[in-house]
Amino acid sequence: MFLIAVITGLITGVLLAMLGMSPISAVGAGAAALAGAFSLGMTAVAYIKKQDA
């Protein structure tokens, strides 16, 4: 799950930098995407584990 979140954050940051966003803003947006993807993934994992019990 962490690997998918990291890849999502990196792709977001690189794409935004390519589109002309300032580097600091692109890094911030990439970090926000990483955190969002990780929390969504962990929520999904917790929900699935809860259903199994």
Q: Are 34 and 6 within 8 A, CB to CB?
A: yes
Query: pTM for this structure?
Result: 0.83
How many helices and strands, by DSSP H and E, does the chain display?
Answer: 2, 0
Determine the residue type at 26: A
Going from N- to C-terminal start, the domains of the chain cover 2-52
pLDDT tens digits, one per residue of 16-33: 999 999 999 999 999 999
Largest distance between two CA atoms of the chain:
48
pLDDT tens digits, one per residue of 2-17: 999 999 999 999 999 9
Tell me what pLDDT residue 21 has: 95
Determine the residue type at 13: G
